[in-house]
């Protein structure tokens, strides 16, 4: 590529147009409109080609898929008995509020979502930067609460 640029530069300096067309023909490039970069395979997927960079990118993407909210919510740990307090807000695994604690009993924690209630084992709760949490989504929790309230 550099020799081609130099040939064009030398031909332009000499004012010799035939020299430029000969250089282009000799290089295997056809004269005419410039090729579209969009249609080439070079960097088509815009990814790192360095193996170490590729590994780090893949690792980050894998972690993000496993726990998309982990970076802002922080690492979770089991909730302590002191954190399971009356009126505490419980969130789902992405930090969305799903219920409040209405009572703490020996065999579990009663959560209320509006007028509906469900008892959850105390060891099911975790805690992170967002507060108390359950390892579920709001949709799954809503289904669990409605199922528990229709069964009784």
83-128, pLDDT tens digit by residue? 999 999 999 888 899 999 999 999 999 999 888 899 999 999 999 8
Alpha-carbon span 140 to 142, nearest angstrom:
5
Structure-block tokens of residue 7 = 């040939």
- The conformation of residue 104, written as its DSSP 8-state character, comes to E
Q: Are 137 and 92 in contact (CB under 8 A)?
A: yes
Question: Which fold is adopted by the domain 75-151?
Answer: SH3 type barrels. (2.30.30)
> Does the pLDDT value for residue 61 go beyond 80?
no
More confident residue, 72 or 35: 72
pTM of the model: 0.52
Place 62 in a pLDDT band, splitting at 50, 70 and 90.
confident
Angle, CA 31 vertex, CA 29 and CA 37 arms, to 5°: 65
């Amino acid at each position: 590529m550099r020799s081609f640029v130099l040939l064009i530069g030398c031909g332009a300096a000499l004012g010799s147009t035939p020299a430029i067309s000969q250089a282009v023909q000799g290089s295997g490039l056809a004269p005419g409109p410039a090729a579209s970069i969009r249609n080439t395979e070079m960097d088509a997927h815009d990814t790192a080609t360095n193996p170490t960079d590729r590994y780090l990118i893949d690792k980050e993407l894998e972690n993000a898929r496993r726990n998309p909210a982990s970076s802002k919510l922080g690492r979770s740990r089991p909730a302590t008995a002191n954190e399971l307090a009356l009126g505490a807000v419980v969130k789902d695994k992405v930090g969305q509020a799903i219920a409040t604690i209405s009572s703490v009993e020996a065999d579990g924690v009663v959560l209320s979502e509006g007028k509906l209630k469900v008892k959850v084992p105390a060891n099911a709760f975790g805690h992170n930067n967002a507060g108390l949490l359950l390892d579920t989504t709001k949709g799954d929790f809503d289904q669990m609460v409605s199922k528990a309230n229709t069964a009784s």
